[in-house]
Amino acid sequence: MTATEAMKVVIVGAGHAGGSIAALLRSQGFEGPIVLVGDEPVAPYQRPPLSKAWLKGEADRESLLLRPASFYADHGIDLRTGVRVVSISPADHTVTFADGAVETWDRLILATGSVSRRLAIPGTDRPDLIELRTLADAERLRSCLGAGRRLVIVGGGYVGLEAAASARALGAEVVVLERADRVLQRVASEPLSAFFTARHRAEGVDIRSGVDVAGFEDGGVRLGDGEFIAADAILVGIGALACDGLARAAGLACAPGGSGGILVDETARTSDPAIFAIGDVTVRPIPVHAARLRLESVPNALEQARQAACAITGKPRPAPEVPWFWSDQYDIKLQIAGLAQEGDRGIIRGDPATGHFAVFHLSGDRIVCVEAVNAPPEFMAGRQLIARRTPVAADRLADPAVTMKAVAAEP
Ligand SMILES: Cc1cc2nc3c(=O)[nH]c(=O)nc-3n(C[C@H](O)[C@H](O)[C@H](O)COP(=O)(O)OP(=O)(O)OC[C@H]3O[C@@H](n4cnc5c(N)ncnc54)[C@H](O)[C@@H]3O)c2cc1C
C-alpha cells in the first residue's frame, strides 16, 4: 500500500477551489479516498459567467460546470452535493454534517469560499433583495431582467458593473448606486474607474457615486437624502466575507475580527498541519509582493489548490505566482496582474479614449501592478516584469511606440 493509498482526504466546499483540488489530487496520483462535500445542489461550477455570459443567456448550465458531472464518480471522488458541514474537529479528525452524520479524515481541506456582505440598514433582510454569489442567485436575477424592467444595483464593484452590462444587453434599465466617490474604488485605479463610468453611461446605465443608501422599501431603494429610486429588482453587490466559521469554531488561526479569513502558509496549510485551506476563505502569503492578503479570484483558487495538492502528495512546492484577475463588461476585457499600493506611481500607456490602454503602477523603477484594458500584450508582459522584478524606464513604458518587449529588455 502506498502512502497516499492509506490516506483519506475530506474537502469541505465543492466550489472552484474544492472541485479543482479533488481533480488535481487524482491527476497527481493520489490513490486514497476523496470525499468532496458541498452545500449547493450542483457539481462544482464556475462563478465568473454568472454575471457575464450566463446572465446574458450566452452560456448554458452545462457549460458552467468545472468538469462533467460524471467526472467525480469516474475518478473515484465521492461528491456529495446539497450537504452542509456544521463542525470540524481537529482533535478527532472528523467533520459533522447537518444531519448528524460524521466522517473521518487524515487530511482536511477547507474550501468554503465567501458569502455576500450585507448592509446594516433598514430592509436589508427583505426576501426580494437579490445577491449574486450562486447559480440559484443568478437564476433569480435573470428571471427579473428583460426589456423595460428596472434593475437597481447597490455597489459599483466588479460584480455590480458586470451585472449592469449584462442587464443592459437584455434591455433592462439599470441604475448603479455606489457609496464611494467612484466605482471600483477599492479594486482599481482612478483612470480605470473613469473609463468604466464613461462606458457604462454611454451604454445608458445611470451610475451615481457618492450616494448613501438609507434603506430598502416596497418597490425600491431610499437614499440618505430622501430620494426614492423605484426598482423592479434590486441587486446588492457590496463585496464578500470569508466563510471561515468552521475554522474559527475549531480554533484554527484566523485573521482578527469576524469573517476575515483562515491564515495559511505558502503550502496552503493552516495552523493545524493536517488541515489545509484554499480559495476565497484564506488569508495567504503573496511572496512576489511580500504581502499577506485575502484574494477573491479563480487564479488564486487554482494556485492554492496546486499548493495543497503538492503538499499532500509530496510533490515539490509550485513556484509563487503573480496574482491576477479579469473582468468582462460589454466588449471590454480587463486583466489585472499584481497588487497596487498607496504611493505607487501611475503610468498610462495608450489612450483610454480608444478603448485600448494600460495603467502601470510603479514602485521605484519596478512594475508592481498592471491594469490592462483590451491590451493583452501589456498584461502578459507586465505580469512577467512583475514576477522578474525587472527595472523599467517609465518614459519608455508610457510610449506605445516602444514595444513591451523592448521595454522589458531595458536594463
Ligand atoms: C458573480 C461572480 C463573478 C465572478 N467573476 C470573477 C472573474 O471574472 N474572475 C475571477 O478571477 N473571479 C471571479 N469571481 C470570483 C471567483 O468565482 C471566486 O474567487 C472563486 O469561486 C473562489 O473559489 P472558492 O472555491 O474559494 O469558493 P466558491 O467557488 O465560492 O466555493 C465555495 C463553496 O463552498 C460551499 N460551502 C461553504 N460552507 C460550506 C459548508 N459548511 N458545508 C458545505 N459546503 C460549504 C459554498 O456554498 C460554495 O459552494 C466571481 C465571483 C462571483 C460570485
Q: Round to whole Å and give the CA distance between 361 and 363.
A: 7
Please give the grid coordinates belonging to residue 252. Answer: 484554527
Q: Verify whether ligand 1 is closer than 6 Å to residue 116 (CB atom).
A: no
**Ligand 1 pocket, 84 CB below 6 A?**
yes
| Residue-level pLDDT at 4 | 67
| Percentage of the residues of the chain whose pLDDT score is greater than 70 | 98
Query: What is the pLDDT averaged over residues 230-257?
Result: 97
What the block records as the C-alpha cell of 377 is 500584450
What atom in ligand 1 is closest to the CA of residue 163?
1
Q: pLDDT-derived band of residue 1, with 50, 70 and 90 as boundaries?
A: low
112 CA → ligand 1 middle, Å:
8
pLDDT digits (tens, 9 = 90+) for 140-194: 999 999 999 999 999 999 999 999 999 999 999 999 999 999 999 999 999 999 9
Residue 410 confidence (pLDDT) above 60: no
pLDDT of residue 411 exceeding 70, the answer is no
pLDDT number for residue 379: 97
Question: What's the 262 CA to ligand 1 centre distance in angstroms?
Answer: 15
Ligand 1, atom 26, residue with closest C-alpha: 279
Protein residue whose Cα sits closest to atom 35 of ligand 1: 13
pLDDT at 374 over 90: yes
The reported pLDDT for the residue numbered 407 is: 85
Q: What is the pLDDT of residue 259?
A: 87
Ligand 1 within 6 A of CB of 337 = no
371 CB within 6 A, ligand 1: no
Mean of all residue pLDDT scores within the chain: 96
Ligand 1 geometric centre to CA of 15 (Å)? 6
Position 6 scores a pLDDT of: 79
Ligand 1: distance of its center to the CA of 75 in Å? 23
Protein residue closest via CA to atom 23 of ligand 1: 16
Ligand 1 center to 24 CA (angstroms): 18
- How close is the Cα of 48 to the center of ligand 1, in Å? 9
Q: Tell me the mean pLDDT in the region 357-383.
A: 96
Choosing from 298, 306, 325 the residue with most ligand 1 atoms within 8 A of its CB, the one to mutate for a pocket test is 298
Q: Is 326 in the pocket of ligand 1 (CB under 6 A)?
A: yes
Check pocket membership of 16 for ligand 1, CB cut-off 6 A: yes
| 230 SS3 class | strand
Cα 114 to ligand 1 centre (Å): 6
| Phi and psi, residue 121, nearest 5° | -135, 160
Amino acid at 207: I
Mean pLDDT across the stretch 353-357? 96
Quick one: what percent of the chain has pLDDT higher than 90? 93
Average pLDDT of 86-91? 98
- Position 341 scores a pLDDT of 86
| For range 292-319, the mean pLDDT | 97
Distance 298 CA to ligand 1 centre (A): 8
Query: CB–CB of 50/137 below 8 Å?
Result: yes
What is the model's pTM? 0.96
pLDDT recorded at residue 207: 98
Instruction: Spell out where 231-375 has E strands.
Output: 233-236, 240-242, 262-263, 275-277, 282-286, 291-293, 324-329, 332-338, 345-349, 357-363, 366-373
What is the pLDDT averaged over residues 386-402? Answer: 93
Across 263-292, average pLDDT: 96
Region 99-123: what's the mean pLDDT?
A: 97
User: Phi, psi at residue 116, to the nearest 5°?
Assistant: -65, 140
The pLDDT assigned to 308 comes to: 98
pLDDT over threshold 90, residue 5: no
More confident residue, 408 or 60: 60
Nearest CA among 387, 397, 393 for reference residue 411: 393
Of the pLDDT bands very low, low, confident and very high (cuts 50, 70, 90), residue 32 is: very high
Q: Answer yes or no: is the C-beta of 47 below 6 A from any ligand 1 atom.
A: yes
Pocket test residue of 187, 262, 296, 333 for ligand 1, highest count of atoms within 8 A of CB: 296
Q: What share of the chain is helix, strand, coil (3-state, %, to 5)?
A: 25, 30, 45
